[in-house]
Amino acid sequence: MTGDKRRTESASTVTFAPTGTPPPASPVEAAPTPARSTDGALVARRQAELDRQEQIALLLRFRSFLPWVVCVWVAFTIVDWTVARYISPGPLTPFLLLRGGFTLVLLYFILRIHRRPPIGPREFRILELGVFVVASVVISIMGLFYGGIATPYFAGVLLAVVARAAIVAQRWQAGLRDYSAIIAAYPVVFGIAAVFRPGIRDQFADSAALATFAHNLGFLLGAVAFVVVGSHVTWSLRRQVFETRSIGRYRLRRCIGRGGMGEVWAAHDETLKRDVALKILRPERVNDEWLERFRREARATAELTHIHTVRIFDYGASEDGIWYYAMELLEGETLRERVSRSGPIPAESVRRFAIDLAGALAEAHARGIVHRDVKPENLFIATIGGERDVIKLLDFGLAKTEAAEEGLTRSGWIGGTPTYISPEAAAGKPVDQRSDVYSLGASLYFALTGAPPFDATSIGGLFQAHMHDAVVPPSQ
């Protein structure tokens, strides 16, 4: 695909929200997918995709790690109590206030990385680094109440550095900048305190206390040197993994779509030397029902040869158990994207689309295959062999065959998209080829008018409208 054209699969996912960019109209967040470009543009797009993948992986690591950070941070209240009670007798209140305040900061960060809208990469980087800098400040302030510039609490700053290194892998330049900011809080806090607290100022004049302070700072600098190098090595190895991922004979290039069942990647077939779109079953979806659905989609589409049905080249499982199927990589946009971008489509073009798609469905129906999810997002307007506006039928993920198992296609199970679902499907009744014809008509209505046939405010309302209401003619 070229330019701003996209290949999409109907799906839903949780991803980073690009800063300043509204979410896409379709449920999938699809990335630009160039089929042919200059080397520089291709490298830039690949770099952007690698960065995005790393950001997503980092977000997931923080989601997993932060609850443990909160537990450890709160557990160190016992250390504060030991200090205030036995080691350096004094009030426990300052420790409790500081520890409680930073606990609230951690909880806010946890909530922010879980809630909608998804956090943007820039905001995430600022919050992530800010949390560790604030932790260093809080721990250093605690040190004012226990030992001053010679405080053993410098080890708390050391723990913050190590904790971040366990989560974040980054280039050495970025690591040096970030970790310098974290440990800089330690001398800065004591430097400011020396201005306002005579006791701290006197410590800087004491050679033993000053030597201990320098000793502690040296340990912090040494730790930063180690974690910067280690973090860079880890980052390099992970980047190599991202760059060299392959499934069977297919080398993955960039993710162009995600959904409930899997991901779609632009990939290169190393054997036949051609670009393909590779749909991969997500590992967490590998159970009997989802695997059968995935196989059924691949088999159903592979049987079809109509020019207006997306072509399947290959399907199977890799040596490490990842299920996939390879299909043609299309250049263009979905019907929904075309209407959203340009408005209603002229009647003559819609008539041609109707004939082409009816032919694609007729072949599927003749083979006993019912699509069950015909909608604008699954109708792709492509450029093929220099010919523009070639309509393609996509995504047989909900397809059923006449021989489908009872457990997978049963009466009472509602499959499809509510806005374009047929009346019998809305009622939970068995569906047949006529359901596809209805959904195709509803999709073409959208193409002609720029709006779906019914616009209820709830799923139940849409079901009722499909079953009982009359459609306003497009001419009106």
For residue 376, is the peptide bond before it cis, meaning its omega torsion is within 30 degrees of 0? Answer: no
Q: What is the mean pLDDT of residues 135-146?
A: 96
Residue pair 288/301 in contact by the 8 Å Cβ criterion: no
Q: What is the mean pLDDT of residues 46-60?
A: 73
Per-state percent for the chain, helix, strand, coil, to nearest 5? 55, 15, 30
Task: Output the six-digit token pair for 17.
Answer: 């929200």
Task: Output the six-digit token pair for 341.
Answer: 């971008």
Q: How high is the pLDDT of residue 286? A: 55
Q: What is the mean pLDDT of residues 29-40?
A: 36
Is the pLDDT at 59 greater than 90? The verdict is no
Is the pLDDT at 442 greater than 50? The verdict is yes
Q: Given pLDDT bands bounded at 50, 70 and 90, which one contains residue 54? A: confident
In the chain, the amino acid numbered 140 is S
Mean pLDDT, the chain, integer: 82
The structural domains of the chain, with segments of one domain joined by +, span 50-243, 246-328, 332-468
Q: How far apart are CA 163 and CA 238, in angstroms?
A: 19
Strands 246-247 and 250-258: antiparallel
pTM: 0.51
Using alpha carbons, select from 339, 329, 349 the residue that is nearest to residue 394.
Answer: 329
Q: How far apart are CA 168 and CA 451, in angstroms?
A: 46
At 101, give phi and psi (nearest 5°): -65, -45
Q: How high is the pLDDT of residue 281? A: 74
Q: What is the mean pLDDT of residues 365-379?
A: 89
In terms of average pLDDT, the best of 249-253, 282-286, 335-339, 426-430 is: 335-339
Q: How high is the pLDDT of residue 124? A: 92
Q: What is the mean pLDDT of residues 148-170?
A: 94
User: Taking the mean position of all CA atoms in its chain, how far away is CA 461?
Assistant: 31
Q: How high is the pLDDT of residue 398? A: 56
Q: Given pLDDT bands bounded at 50, 70 and 90, which one contains residue 196? A: very high
Q: How high is the pLDDT of residue 369? A: 87
Residue pair 255/49 in contact by the 8 Å Cβ criterion: yes
Q: What is the mean pLDDT of residues 103-129?
A: 90
Is the pLDDT at 50 greater than 70? The verdict is no
Is the pLDDT at 279 greater than 90? The verdict is no
Q: How high is the pLDDT of residue 354? A: 96
Beta-carbon neighbour count of residue 169 at 10 Å? 21
Residue pair 449/474 in contact by the 8 Å Cβ criterion: yes
Query: In sequence order, what are the residues at sequence separation of 6 or more whose Cβ sits closer than 8 angstroms to the Cβ of residue 443?
Result: 335, 374, 375, 376, 379, 420
Q: How high is the pLDDT of residue 396? A: 73
Task: List C-alpha distances in Å: 323 to 131, 289, 295, 319, 345.
Answer: 40, 14, 9, 10, 38
In the chain, the amino acid numbered 41 is A
Q: How high is the pLDDT of residue 243? A: 59
- Higher-pLDDT residue of 76 and 238 is 76
Q: How far apart are CA 57 and CA 18, in angstroms?
A: 15
Among 145-159, 224-238, 436-450, the range scoring the smallest mean pLDDT is 224-238
Using alpha carbons, select from 325, 323, 317, 242 the residue that is nearest to residue 276.
Answer: 325
Q: How far apart are CA 82 and CA 79, in angstroms?
A: 5
Is the pLDDT at 191 greater than 70? The verdict is yes
Q: Do domains 246-328 and 332-468 have the same CATH topology?
A: no
Is the pLDDT at 242 greater than 70? The verdict is no
Is the pLDDT at 53 greater than 80? The verdict is no
- Higher-pLDDT residue of 266 and 37 is 266
Is the pLDDT at 117 greater than 80? The verdict is no
Q: What is the mean pLDDT of residues 397-409?
A: 49
Q: What is the mean pLDDT of residues 287-306?
A: 77
Task: List C-alpha distances in Å: 60 to 14, 50, 305.
Answer: 11, 16, 41
The contacts found for 63-71 with CB under 8 angstroms, 24 or more apart, are 63/110, 63/113, 63/114, 65/166, 65/167, 66/106, 66/109, 66/110, 66/113, 67/110, 69/106, 69/163, 70/103, 70/106, 70/107, 70/110
- Higher-pLDDT residue of 295 and 94 is 94
At 254, give phi and psi (nearest 5°): -155, 145
Q: Which residues are catalytic?
A: 373
The contacts found for 110-118 with CB under 8 angstroms, 24 or more apart, are 110/63, 110/66, 110/67, 110/70, 113/59, 113/62, 113/63, 113/66, 114/63, 117/17, 117/23, 118/14, 118/15, 118/16, 118/17
DSSP, res 87? I
Is the pLDDT at 77 greater than 50? The verdict is yes
Q: Given pLDDT bands bounded at 50, 70 and 90, which one contains residue 92? A: very high
In the chain, the amino acid numbered 444 is L
Is the pLDDT at 157 greater than 70? The verdict is yes
Q: How far apart are CA 374 and CA 336, in angstroms?
A: 12
The CA-based dihedral angle spanning residues 165, 171, 177, 179, taken in that order and rounded to the nearest 10 degrees: 10
Task: Output the six-digit token pair for 409.
Answer: 């296609």
Is the pLDDT at 296 greater than 60? The verdict is yes
332-468, superfamily in CATH?
Answer: Transferase(Phosphotransferase) domain 1 (1.10.510.10)
Q: How high is the pLDDT of residue 461? A: 87
Domain 246-328 grouped into CATH 3.30.200.20:
yes
In the chain, the amino acid numbered 23 is P
Is the pLDDT at 45 greater than 80? The verdict is no
- Higher-pLDDT residue of 35 and 303 is 303
Q: What is the mean pLDDT of residues 409-416?
A: 43
Residue pair 16/55 in contact by the 8 Å Cβ criterion: yes
